[in-house]
Amino acid sequence: MKISEVVGDGLQSFVAVVRCAVDGMGSVTIRVQIRCDGLIQARYLLTRLYGRGNVQSVHQTVLEQSIKPIEPSTSVIRPIKPKSGIIKSIKPMTPKQGMKKSMADAKKAVKKKERKTKAINRVRVAQNHLADINREP
């Protein structure tokens, strides 16, 4: 059993990362702790306080856990090297090749739309036929 279940007042604690705009100085990202009934209420309240689009994340905290400061990651991202020589390079298309590809894509889209329309029409015919069968007695 958690200590918040025994001693709690019914409110949950949340930590949020929000962006605060300062006139003439740009914006600053800060962490805020708030207590309310639930996650949705916390997000609505923070949106009301800091503005739409300024609430970046909201996480529930537990009394047993201490809030650790956010530190920048020290990991280095290295590019992935292909294991085989299959991927050499991507060559740009000439304008003529680009036009051919776009025309082929357009033809595929038209054919797909025609197939979809035919399928919808077949379903309508079948539904009408079933309705006619049910009306005849």
**Residue 128 within any structural domain of the chain:** yes
Provide the residue range defining the domain that includes 27.
3-61
Residue 46 shares a structural domain with residue 7: yes
CATH code: domain of residue 43: 3.10.20
Residue 57 shares a structural domain with residue 9: yes
Contact 46, 82 (CB under 8 A): no
Domain count, the chain: 2
pLDDT in tens, 99-120: 999 999 999 999 999 999 999 9
Residue 14 shares a structural domain with residue 53: yes
Task: Name, in order, each residue with C-beta under 8 angstroms of 101's C-beta and a sequence gap of 6 or more.
Answer: 93
- Is this prediction's pTM over 0.75? no
| Residue 67 pLDDT > 50 | no
pLDDT in tens, 84-96: 555 566 678 899 9
> Across all residues in the chain, what is the average pLDDT?
80
